[in-house]
A and B are shown apart, each in its own frame.
Chain A
């Protein structure tokens, strides 16, 4: 039996918590501080907070807001959104962020990954890889919260990130985001077999069984948004997280 990290991922837009479907149709789901407080009391392994409007608005991270969130998170906190400079990474770490997540700037400026890894260590640098199939069914890496196609294959990009010094990949299947349709196992398999760093799968989880499948496909850890925020059938907002016992029975016990 092996422990697998199960990580809630929260999206922030204009200071509020939102949830998307395929990176679109963002629905307001509440106040980030209270959500993080509830997840904290649920003793989640780690939490990821992504400010999805930062890059689009061409601004840096809102440190004061992140500090308030971090003060409710006693578990490791990952933050991504709008980071373009090493000084911002320094500020985030000081604010209480354990893992810095880079997406657009990882593509536009891979040396930032390198510099950041030297500064805080690879284990704190996560490259977020948002992937969508193009018209011909080929996986492509997207940046700017899914708005811009880089036309690069995710396997190639993942290797590049590993070489640059990223300690972890957050692999997001845009087409599965918010669909409750399960992870993209093909994508997980191809990327995780190409790199040696941990791959965190995100996009599509509906049940613990989906976590098992993602790990089977090569993911080191799993992340989910909608599954921990919504109750079906009405997508009623209600934060939940499986009990440790449930994770042991339905997830850890399947992993060697």
Chain B
């Protein structure tokens, strides 16, 4: 495994800034171009801009409006206060849709995030629903993930937000979920930096082994719900940002101007924990610098030059003062002493796969669905 750039076997892609520190399994072709570049180029085909994008959006919004007739809301959007979700909120209003915005309060909101959300919903006249996760439970699961030394601690938040979106869609009888996920600014992501957000069996097992607090209100998305929502309700989030020109720099300027949006530097820094996770836990313990993936995506979509990306990577992830402040706050909130935390940071990373999973169950179920497709058609 390559740990730093002075290693003789260190290699970096000639187009992106992905390297064999970021992903030991990275492959390069004869021109020194990595697999992530080609993977991006493949995904890019799904991005529709210009007339094709407009047509796609017109079709989608017509369908959404039609299904939402007579209802208070016709779609759900997530709202974190970040760039992607803010722009989604703006776009859906432009399309004449009637969204209900959903926000997750996991106890780590920054002032910037809540102020951005306040401005967005007031300026765009959007109703908000907040899921407040019980902090004692949430902290206990987060602590379990930290102690388990698994990489994707953000599953704890992401799982809750997905589970809530689906639950709310059903309760409010809303047929569409519109998501801010997009190809041109976030497609590249090594698979070993993340874990599946919807694998409740994994979460439950990690929490069973390391947690103390019984989960009573934490929103779950288990296999039973997976079957229900995917097969019965057929809710698939729509990535609307893939159908518009999405140049991050321009969009930021635009939402600053139109929605009084404020930048907090760094992708997903709207949450204090996420900032600490991405700028300290990931690089220190897992040797992961998420900027490499984000910047590489922006290079591939022509939004920055490789030179700019390399310069940005030279900047420290944290100023010393911010790190000290955030670390103190995070440890206080989690109820961890510095000694405890530092010893967890030294513990070797473990794979999510060492814990239970519902992946196999889901796969078998999907195979079953495919096999019986013909049969089911007859009975429909």
Task: List residues of chain A with CB under 8 Å of any chain B CB.
Answer: 15-16, 28-31, 33-34, 37-38, 41-42, 68, 71, 231, 233-234, 236-240
A16-B114 contact, Cβ under 8 Å, with A236-B130, A237-B105: no
Residues of B within 8 A of A (CB): 103, 105, 107-111, 114-115, 117-118, 121, 127-130, 132, 134-136, 329, 332-333
Q: Which residue of A lies closest to B113 (CB)?
A: A38
Chain A contacts of B115 at CB under 8 A? 42, 240
Instruction: Give Cα distance in the complex from A71 to B111, angstroms.
Output: 17
List residues of chain B with CB within 8 A of the CB of A237. Answer: 105, 130, 132
On chain A, the residues within 8 Å of B117 by CB distance are: 238
Q: Which residue of B lies closest to A14 (CB)?
A: B136
Whether A234 lies near B108 (C-beta < 8 A) is: no
Q: Which residues of A contact B121 (CB under 8 A)?
A: 231
- In the bound complex, CA of A212 to CA of B247 (Å): 45
Interchain residue pairs A-B with the least CB separation, the first 3: A41-B111, A31-B135, A236-B128
Q: Tell me whether B114 and A29 are in contact (CB under 8 A).
A: no
- Choose one: A30, A68, A231; the contact of B132 (CB below 8 Å): A30
Cα distance A15–B333 in the bound complex, in angstroms? 13
* B129 in contact with A33 (CB, 8 Å): no
A236/B111 in contact, CB under 8 A: no
A34 to chain B, nearest CB (A): 5
Residue of A nearest to B121 (CB): A231
The reply to whether A236 and B103 form a contact with Cβ atoms under 8 Å apart is yes
Q: Separation in Å of the B291 CB from the closest CB of chain A?
A: 26
Inter-chain pairs besides A31-B333, A42-B115, A68-B332, 6 sampled, C-beta below 8 Å: A16-B135, A34-B108, A34-B333, A38-B111, A231-B130, A237-B130
What chain A residues lie within 8 Å of B111 (beta carbons)?
37-38, 41-42
**Do residues B127 and A234 form an inter-chain contact, with CB atoms below 8 A?**
yes
Q: Do A238 and B130 touch (CB < 8 A)?
A: yes
Complex-state Cα separation, A237 to B107, whole angstroms: 11
Residue of A nearest to B217 (CB): A28
Instruction: State the total of A-B contacts with C-beta under 8 angstroms.
Output: 61
In the assembled complex, the CB of A70 is this many whole angstroms from the nearest CB of chain B, namely 12
User: In the complex, what distance in Å separates the CA atom of A37 from the CA atom of B326?
Assistant: 12
Most buried by A among B108, B117, B127, B132: B132
B333–A33 touching, CB < 8 Å: yes
Contacts known (A34-B107, A34-B109, A231-B121); A240 close to B114, Cβ less than 8 A:
yes
- On whether the beta carbons of A16 and B136 are closer than 8 Å, the reply is yes
Residues in A with CB closer than 8 Å to B332 are 33, 68, 71
B325: shortest Cβ distance to chain A, in Å?
11
Whether A15 contacts B136 by the Cβ 8 Å rule is yes
Query: By the criterion CB–CB under 8 Å, are B118 and A231 in contact?
Result: yes
CA distance A234 to B76 in the complex (A): 14
Q: A16-B134, A41-B111, A238-B114 are in contact. Are A30 and B127 (CB under 8 A)?
A: no
A29–B121 alpha-carbon span in the complex (Å): 19
Let me know if B132 and A28 touch, CB within 8 A: yes
Chain B residue, CB-CB nearest to A15: B136
Chain A residues, Cβ within 8 Å of B130:
231, 234, 236-238
Q: How far is the CA of A71 from the CA of B48 in the complex (A)?
A: 50
- List residues of chain A with CB within 8 A of the CB of B333: 31, 33-34
Contact A31 B114 (CB under 8 A): no
A236 touches B129 (CB 8 A): yes
For this complex, 17 residue pairs linking A to B, each with C-beta atoms less than 8 Å apart, are: A16-B134, A16-B136, A30-B107, A31-B107, A31-B135, A31-B333, A34-B107, A34-B108, A34-B333, A37-B329, A38-B109, A38-B110, A41-B110, A231-B118, A231-B130, A238-B118, A240-B115
